[in-house]
């Protein structure tokens, strides 16, 4: 049952002109009630103090077999539901739905494009790419769980002068054999070397621009080297994507839109939006409190904005998206505001459906990262170290555990993903190996261990038989109440583009279960009580598994 909707309908009898469903919330303490209406939000409309509103509504509200009690406390109207009925219905729903528990079909018939990860060809996959990759991947999984058709797009950085720089560096300091053997590390080495050398010899920059022009003009040798660099990059990063349970529906990168930008420029001209500024072509956005959006440089070459506008139009024409999300760091806030405004000025009504999902930056304890200077922490190294640590912990605590390698991989990669999704996405992160490698406290291993604990309980006690809901302890009902919030949590995560809601929920549910596990003997002599508690355990195992799956994290049978 949708209790919020039910309570709102009953309140309409007292408040015929007010829809309060959106105002209803869940109190922090279940002792206060299961749902609450903060009457502060009605005070201005009703021209009455919140405490008086709550008292009047309480006097008029008629409890029934669904809402058993209504009370007015400090300007809040609190409702207690029929907890036994709620608990029986909830456990049946979770166990019956299993892997679908928490899902919905609210997005049926709607397509969401999600542009994320967007790695640069021939550059290492470092810790700075982790946030966009795991946030975007989690959003893809969350929206699919809610019935949307999702198109995950890896908008590859495969266009620009940096490829000319790489060809120059390759010709001076490397060869095919070294590149094929050293892979991305070799490409990174010569890229750094180019920038070091260019400080002493600026003519290298001119040579790089010449080679990039050769790529654009279809030169066979330059094109072959570019394709080699691209092939090596995709092969290497695919290993990391597989570890992180990340996949894409499209790898159409910047170069894909090379032949589509002329149409954008033509349309901007036809609509009188392009202006000449010292030889460059711009869209003037001063009226909207923004600097001009640069469309073409004075030499006629395109920019990120040109390609992003072309990409947006292509995606709308190809996928007819309901929303198009860009999971990109907040440093690009202005860029996306400009792009969306230009599309709006072009008369694209769907410009309002484009969303920049921004997130905080990752820096090193020693300062900002820089590929040019070689100051990066490779993501592959981070993942490998966490897997090694997980294996070491397993060896110390449970040396006879079967399938240790796969369990260590699931625990290690889970720790990396969970750590990146644990806090609000907009927060800046200072990368620390100590933090990532810590398995203590509010971490993924804690949640994975809780699932393993559920599995162990069910393995020892068997499946839950039939039961009627007994009088519940505070810990039992608090746990059931937490279980009931999963679907709403997933919906909130989608609405606010915030996977950390699911992460925090998983920690809350694991904590509630472990408190219940300690306070309530599951394998007790009372058959009805044992089956009830086993039913709760199974429901927790299902819900935690669903939560971690939405984050791209594997669960383990035992730890």
Mean of the per-residue pLDDT values of the chain: 91
pLDDT band at residue 369 using 50, 70 and 90 as cut-offs: very low
The answer to whether residues 266 and 126 belong to one domain is: yes
Query: Which of 345, 364, 383 finishes a domain?
Result: 364
Report pLDDT for 360.
Answer: 87
- Same domain (yes/no): 45, 132: no
Residue given tokens 């596990």 in the structure block:
517
Rounded average pLDDT over 301-320: 94
Q: Which of the residue ranges 154-168, 223-237, 432-446 would you say has the lowest mean pLDDT?
A: 432-446
| 516 found inside a domain | no
H helical segments located in 217-326: 220-243, 261-270, 304-319
Q: How far apart are CA 184 and CA 394, in angstroms?
A: 32
Among 338, 364, 390, the domain-final residue is 364
Percent of the chain, pLDDT > 90? 73
Note whether residue 269 is domain-resident.
Answer: yes
pLDDT score of 480 more than 90 = yes
pLDDT over threshold 60, residue 15 = yes
Q: Which of 19-23, 323-327, 432-436 has the highest mean pLDDT?
A: 323-327
**Taking 80 as the threshold, does the pLDDT of residue 437 lie above it?**
no
Tell me, yes or no, whether 502 lies in a domain. Answer: no
Q: What is the pLDDT of residue 363?
A: 65
Confidence of residue 428 (pLDDT cuts 50, 70, 90): confident
Write the CATH number for 235.
Answer: 3.40.50.620
Residue 373's pLDDT is what?
Answer: 52
Instruction: Output DSSP code: residue 155.
Output: -
Strands 354-357 and 429-431: unpaired
- Whether residues 117 and 69 share a domain: the answer is no
Of 315-319, 372-376, 463-467, 525-529, which gets the smallest average pLDDT? 372-376
Cα-Cα-Cα-Cα dihedral sign, residues 196, 198, 201, 202: negative
Q: What is the mean pLDDT of residues 373-396?
A: 83
Looking at the fold, whether 35 and 139 belong to one and the same domain comes out as no
Residue among 236, 214, 554, 235 at smallest CA distance from 379: 236
Over residues 99-125, mean pLDDT: 94
Do 49 and 146 lie in one domain? The reply is: no
| Upper half-sphere CA count for residue 414 (Cβ side, 13 Å) | 27
In a domain, 464, yes or no: no
Query: What is the distance between the alpha carbons of residues 135 and 499, in angstroms, rounded to a whole number?
Result: 7
Residue 436 confidence (pLDDT)? 65
The answer to whether residues 355 and 301 belong to one domain is: yes
Instruction: Pull the structure tokens for residue 65.
Output: 């077999």
Least confident of 4-18, 464-478, 506-520: 4-18
Place 202 in a pLDDT band, splitting at 50, 70 and 90: very high
Regarding whether 268 and 353 lie in a shared domain, the answer is yes
Question: pLDDT at position 351, please?
Answer: 98
Q: Taking Cα atoms as reference points, which of 171, 153, 152 lies closest to residue 163? A: 171
Same domain (yes/no): 128, 249: yes
Whole-number pLDDT of residue 31: 83
SS3 347: coil
pLDDT tens-digit readout, 497-520: 999 999 999 999 999 999 999 999
DSSP 3-state assignment of 370?
strand
Q: CA-CA distance, 510 to 439, in Å (whole number)?
A: 15
Establish if 438 belongs to a structural domain: no
Q: Indicate if 299 and 352 belong to the same structural domain.
A: yes
Q: What is the DSSP string of 1-45?
A: --HHHHHHHHHTTT-TT---GGG-B--SSTTT-SEEEETHHHHHH
Asked whether residue 498 is assigned to any structural domain, the reply reads no
pLDDT at 111 > cutoff 60: yes
If asked whether residues 11 and 156 sit together in one domain, one would say no
- Is residue 15 included in any domain, yes or no? yes
Q: Are residues 50 and 151 in the same domain?
A: no
Which one of 329, 364, 399 terminates a domain?
364
Name, of 15-19, 234-238, 268-272, the range with top average pLDDT.
Answer: 268-272
The number of folded domains in the chain is 2
Q: How many percent of the chain have pLDDT more than 70?
A: 96
Coil, strand, or helix at residue 295? Answer: strand
Cα atoms found within 13 Å of the Cα of residue 163, Cβ hemisphere only: 25
User: Would 175 be classed as within a structural domain?
Assistant: no
Closest CA to 324 of 350, 345, 355: 355
Quick: pLDDT tens for 74-100.
999 999 999 999 999 999 999 999 999
pLDDT at 352: 98
Cα(233)–Cα(124) distance, integer angstroms = 8
User: At 67, which CATH number?
Assistant: 3.30.1360.70
Give yes or no for residue 372 having a pLDDT over 90.
Answer: no
Q: Lowest-confidence range among 9-13, 157-161, 219-223, 363-367?
A: 363-367
Q: What pLDDT, in 10s, does the model give residues 399-422?
A: 999 999 999 999 999 999 998 898
Do 115 and 256 sit in the same domain of this protein?
Answer: yes
Domain coverage including residue 290 = 111-161+224-364
Task: Tell me the Ramachandran region of residue 552: left when phi exceeds 0, alpha when psi lies from -120 to 50, beta otherwise.
Answer: left
């Amino acid at each position: 049952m949708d209790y919020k909707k039910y309570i709102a309908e009953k309140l309409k009898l007292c408040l015929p002109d007010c829809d309060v469903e959106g105002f209803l919330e869940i109190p922090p303490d279940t002792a206060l009630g299961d749902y609450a209406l903060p009457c502060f939000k009605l005070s201005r409309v009703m021209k009455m103090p919140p405490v008086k509103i709550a008292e009047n509504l309480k006097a008029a509200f008629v409890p029934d077999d669904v809402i058993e009690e209504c009370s007015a406390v400090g300007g809040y109207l609190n409702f207690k539901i029929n907890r036994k009925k709620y608990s029986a219905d909830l456990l049946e729903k979770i166990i019956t739905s299993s892997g679908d528990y928490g899902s919905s079909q609210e997005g049926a018939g709607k397509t969401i494009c999600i542009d994320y990860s967007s790695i640069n060809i021939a550059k290492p996959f470092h810790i700075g790419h982790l946030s966009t990759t795991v946030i975007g991947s989690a959003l893809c999984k969350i929206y699919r769980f809610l019935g949307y058709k999702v198109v995950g797009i890896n908008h590859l950085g495969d266009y620009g002068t940096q490829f000319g720089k790489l060809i120059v560096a390759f010709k001076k300091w490397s060869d095919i054999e070294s590149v094929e053997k050293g892979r991305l590390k070799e490409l990174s080495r010569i890229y750094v070397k180019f920038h070091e050398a260019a400080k002493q010899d600026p003519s290298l920059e001119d040579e790089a621009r010449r080679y990039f022009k050769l790529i654009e003009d279809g030169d066979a040798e330059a094109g072959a080297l570019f394709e080699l660099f691209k092939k090596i990059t995709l092969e290497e990063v695919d290993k990391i994507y597989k570890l992180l349970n990340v996949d894409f529906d499209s790898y159409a990168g910047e170069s894909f839109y090379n032949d589509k930008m002329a149409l954008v420029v033509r349309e901007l001209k036809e609509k009188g939006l392009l202006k000449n500024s010292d030889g460059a072509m711009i869209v003037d956005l001063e009226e909207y409190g923004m600097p001009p959006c640069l469309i073409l440089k004075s030499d006629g070459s395109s920019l990120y904005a040109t390609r992003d506008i072309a990409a947006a139009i292509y995606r709308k024409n190809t996928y007819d998206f309901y929303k198009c999300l860009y999971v990109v760091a907040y440093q690009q806030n202005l860029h996306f505001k400009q792009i969306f405004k230009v599309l709006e000025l072009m008369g694209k009504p769907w410009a309002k459906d484009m969303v920049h999902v921004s997130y905080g930056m990752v820096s090193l304890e020693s300062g900002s990262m820089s590929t040019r200077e070689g100051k990066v922490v490779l993501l592959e190294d981070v993942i490998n170290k966490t897997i090694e640590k997980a294996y070491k912990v397993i060896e110390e605590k449970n040396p006879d555990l079967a399938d240790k390698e796969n369990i260590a991989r699931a625990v290690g990669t889970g720790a990396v993903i969970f750590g990146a999704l644990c806090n609000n996405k907009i927060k800046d992160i200072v990368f620390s190996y100590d933090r990532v490698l810590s398995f203590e406290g509010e971490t993924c291993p804690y949640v994975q261990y809780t699932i393993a604990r559920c599995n162990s309980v069910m393995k020892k006690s068997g499946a839950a038989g039939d039961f009627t809901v007994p009088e519940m302890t505070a810990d039992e009902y608090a746990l059931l109440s937490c279980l009931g919030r999963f679907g709403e949590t997933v919906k909130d995560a989608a609405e606010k583009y915030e996977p950390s809601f699911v992460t925090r929920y998983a920690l809350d549910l694991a904590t509630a279960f472990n408190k219940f596990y300690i306070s309530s003997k599951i394998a007790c002599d009372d058959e009805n009580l044992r089956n009830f508690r086993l039913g709760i355990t199974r429901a927790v195992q299902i819900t935690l598994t669903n939560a971690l799956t939405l984050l791209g994290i594997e669960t383990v049978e035992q730890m």
